Structure 1
Amino acid sequence: MSPKTDVRSYTLAVSWEIMIIIYYPSPDHRSEHLDTSYGLLVLLELISPILANMHILGEDLVKALKLLADVPLIDGHNDFPYFLRGWYPDQVNTVDCQHMPIAHTDLERLSQGRVGGVFWSAYVPCPDANASNDFSVDVHHQCLRETLQQIDIIHGLIERYPKNLGLATTSTEVWNVFKSGRVASLIGVEGLHQIANSPGVMRNFHRLGVRYITLTHDSNNLYADSTNSTGPVHGGLSADGISMVKEMNRVGMVVDLSHTSIATQKHVLAVSKAPVIFSHSSCSSVTEHPRNSPDDVLDMLQRNGGVFMITFIRKSTDSINPCLERVADHVQHVGDRIGYDHVGIGSDFDGVMQTASGLDDVSKFPLLIAELLKRGVSEQSIRNMMGLNVLRVMDDVEQVSTAMEEAGEEVLSDKFEEIWDNKVREEVRKTRGVFD
């Protein structure tokens, strides 16, 4: 047999194993189909995006798909709900989400990419990215309204596709949805501007299923400084911000530090009682960019017990050659610096126009896993990175919340405006028999 025939035979054999793993993710149903041609055309269509890389990745891709069948890969940040609102404003609740080539995300490619869980972002823009630090409640009312609409879009998406998606608010629910063959759907909110300066709104977001809130987006707010604003106003957290982080700890809302200033990151890591996450960030030591975090922040995150989720944003990945391999460099840097117990993935699919080449949509996650395997990253480290780390953080945050509740930590109250004048108060006194 010629070398060329050997390569062809090997590729076909490995390709067949990949198809079986994808079509039959449960090991119990896999072995009986390894020697049959059942569903060949369907399987070929499912894996066509990754077969193109077969000659390069080979056995590493097979191992990657096996890992993805065993542990949920959880993407820390996906803006598909905002894309739906932007591209299909009149069809948000009716458009077919099975196949949507114009987006980075659809249900078909989530299956191809063996995605186990997603934090769908209920993102809305800041009131004005160039505002002169106007933190008044009035300018945030529209943000609150639109955030509730985005949360509704996410719930509607889950309800429309119950065979593909399942709502998850705890690690146990993530596992249950994953084991049922669906994508565990979690919710994140991308900025405290979206709570309209109200701790009560934050608590209600939690009741609606939101499990993390990013402290800032592109502008400073009442609570914290952003990395993208014209300059800091608080020097990290404000006094209200310190109180809000404590309240998020008490409620069980994960604190997300992506988009925040370095001073904010260090301030939060010094005061938070619970582990935090960076839902979609990159490393300054790999690529210099204002959104990227330095090593001393990573060191503090290790002590905090949190997770740094690597994004696919091109400008954060590399200024010259933003590609899959450079994303892997960021993953390895975090793993080598503070351990693979503190690294994850947060793509930002559909939140940017383009992502790093080779990671062009949600079907490409197996290629990143295969690249890390090729580099010698251990399978257990990759399991941790794929999803076990963020699930641990969710558990730890819940435990801190329970402990704070049991300790009787005070609820952070809203600053309520007066709704009654003295005349109404006097009427209450008279009719209820209350006299001074």
Structure 2
Amino acid sequence: MRKILSLALGAAMAFACSEKAVEVDYTQLTDEERLEIAKEIAKNTIIVDGHMDLPFRMYNQGNTMTGEVYDFINRQESGNIDYVRAMEGGMDAPFMAIYIPAGYQDRGGAKDLADTLIMMVERLATTWPDKIALAKSPEEIEANFKKGLLSLPMGIENAAAIEDDLSNVEYFYNKGIRYMTLTHGKDNLVGDSSYDDAETHGGLSEFGKEVVAEMNRLGMIIDVSHITDRTFFDVAEISKAPIVATHSSARKFTPGFERNVSDEVIQKIAEKDGMVMITFGGSFLDQAYSEKNTANRAHIATWLEENGLTRRDEAAQEYINEYMEANKPNVHVSKVAEHIDHVVKLVGIDHVGLGSDFDGVGDSLPEGLKDASMYPNLIAELLKLGYSRADIEKICYQNFFRVWKAVEAAAGK
């Protein structure tokens, strides 16, 4: 049997090189054999990830305007991505999220922060031009892939970055921004956030409707992650182009969590020829994980109150670290594959992709998917579920490229 499986593995590896080769039934292979095939697929297939928060992590390192460049090129102990781990995992085009915390909506400075984060991403490309390049289109990502370069496309997370000036949408498009997440943690001038109970506008604001139309005109992808369902359906009604959730998972697995997308929302996204890019954070993937996290936070809050301490106190930090380590919930990479499989079964293989939220969800990432070196583990889980190489190529990049090009076509570009 071992010899037969080894022959099957060889046949599967040969499939990439010969159109006449017959793809084997990956479900019949061992986990080890599937992982080897997954590594080969990751190496030879473009992988696009819809959302990573590396720019804001670099910003928090404190070397923003000093001229010192964050050491992205070497393996880092912190964070979820660097050049080394990206190469190990076959990651080719991680979208750099230009993240604007909701606090900037009140105190100002949102556009300035966006400019700073964009500059920091640009600096990576100019510092290591033999390894990294910016990318503003599918064609540029493909060209960079052929040259062996890591592409860094960019998207804004939180339309607060444009402040109250519609012309800033075009300003950021011209700076290389190719999608914009309409809200983040709180309602803003554009629309309502799924994390905010205020329902300030009852959906998309009048200004938000102008923003959607302007994004359509420019060919900028509308990201519907973070918005309320009411805001989403307003966007879906108005947008003349496909829409994308760049980092959301399926609400089926987390009932009541509006930040994830419901089946009804997924179906409407597919109807608009868009896609859902499944995100990796544990609380997005599994209800039990989320509930355990909530219980842990409640326990810590009660303990602090009973002991008259704050999180800043040394004794509190020691207790919190020990308690959280002992009571940390777990979720496995296979759960990400389940979310992908749910979207596929609901609306088809053409409407799903990957949007990790690496560097944005702390230590809540699944076992087997802790950083950018581990994409082959996810591919192996998809092979185990019966997905073909062609299916995986769609999930990894072809679906997103189709949507991106359709958004450009709708703009007449």
Q: Which whole-Å CA distance do the structure 1 matches of 2:36 and 2:82 have between them?
A: 23
Give the corresponding residue for 2:282: 314
Give the AA of the match of 1:298.
Answer: I
8 Å CA contact 1:140, 1:196 repeated in 2 = no
378, 381, 390: which is aligned to 1:368? 378
8 Å CA contact 1:140, 1:193 repeated in 2 = no
1:187 lines up with 2:154 in the alignment: yes
Scaled by the length of structure 2, the TM-score of the pair is: 0.80
1:340 lines up with 2:349 in the alignment: yes
Give the AA of the match of 2:268.
Answer: M
Q: Which whole-Å CA distance do the structure 2 matches of 1:297 and 1:190 have between them?
A: 20
Q: Which whole-Å CA distance do the structure 2 matches of 1:175 and 1:241 have between them?
A: 33
75, 78, 97: which is aligned to 1:102? 78
Flag structure 1 segments of 5+ consecutive residues without an equivalent: 29-54, 129-134, 404-436
Give the corresponding residue for 2:47: 73
Of the two, which has the highest radius of gyration?
Answer: 1
73, 80, 88: which is aligned to 1:112? 88
Scaled by the length of structure 1, the TM-score of the pair is: 0.76
Quote how far apart the aligned CAs of 1:116 are. 1.5
Q: Which whole-Å CA distance do the structure 2 matches of 1:335 and 1:199 have between them?
A: 36
1:150 lines up with 2:117 in the alignment: yes
Q: Which whole-Å CA distance do the structure 2 matches of 1:66 and 1:336 have between them?
A: 26
Query: Which secondary structure does the structure 1 equivalent of 2:153 belong to?
Result: strand
1:252 lines up with 2:219 in the alignment: yes
Matches within 5 A, 1:40-79: 57-79=31-53
Alignment CA distance shift 1:235-1:333 (3 Å): same
1:323 lines up with 2:332 in the alignment: yes
Q: Which whole-Å CA distance do the structure 2 matches of 1:273 and 1:325 have between them?
A: 35
Give the corresponding residue for 1:281: 248
Give the corresponding residue for 1:201: 168
Give the corresponding residue for 2:293: none
Query: Which secondary structure does the structure 2 equivalent of 1:280 belong to?
Result: coil
Give the AA of the match of 2:335.
Answer: R
Give the AA of the match of 2:157.
Answer: E
Q: Which whole-Å CA distance do the structure 1 matches of 2:62 and 2:116 have between them?
A: 14
Quote how far apart the aligned CAs of 1:124 are. 2.1
Give the corresponding residue for 1:397: 407
Quote how far apart the aligned CAs of 1:70 are. 3.4
Q: Which whole-Å CA distance do the structure 1 matches of 2:44 and 2:166 have between them?
A: 38
Q: Which whole-Å CA distance do the structure 2 matches of 1:251 and 1:265 have between them?
A: 20
Q: Which whole-Å CA distance do the structure 2 matches of 1:234 and 1:381 have between them?
A: 40
Asked which structure has the greater RCO (Cα within 8 Å, sep 6+), the reply is 2
Give the corresponding residue for 2:304: none
Quote how far apart the aligned CAs of 1:337 are. 0.4
Q: Which moved more, 1:337-346 or 1:224-233?
A: 224-233
Quote how far apart the aligned CAs of 1:56 are. 5.7
376, 388, 413: which is aligned to 2:398? 388
Quote how far apart the aligned CAs of 1:193 are. 0.7
Query: Which secondary structure does the structure 2 equivalent of 1:268 belong to?
Result: helix
Quote how far apart the aligned CAs of 1:322 are. 2.5
Provide Cα deviations, 1:113-132, integer angstroms capped at 9, x if missing partner.
Answer: 0112110111121126xxxx
Provide Cα deviations, 1:359-378, integer angstroms capped at 9, x if missing partner.
Answer: 10000011101110111012
What is the number of residues matched between the two proteins? 355
377, 382, 389: which is aligned to 2:387? 377
Q: Which whole-Å CA distance do the structure 2 matches of 1:92 and 1:332 have between them?
A: 45
Q: Which whole-Å CA distance do the structure 2 matches of 1:92 and 1:390 have between them?
A: 34
8 Å CA contact 1:359, 1:365 repeated in 2 = yes
Give the AA of the match of 1:214.
Answer: T
Flag structure 2 segments of 5+ consecutive residues without an equivalent: 19-28, 289-329
Q: Which whole-Å CA distance do the structure 2 matches of 1:83 and 1:27 have between them?
A: 40
8 Å CA contact 2:43, 2:89 repeated in 1 = no
Q: Which whole-Å CA distance do the structure 2 matches of 1:382 and 1:205 have between them?
A: 32
1:227 lines up with 2:202 in the alignment: no
1:301 lines up with 2:269 in the alignment: yes
Give the AA of the match of 1:396.
Answer: A
141, 145, 156: which is aligned to 1:174? 141
Q: Which whole-Å CA distance do the structure 2 matches of 1:196 and 1:214 have between them?
A: 14
Give the AA of the match of 2:332.
Answer: C
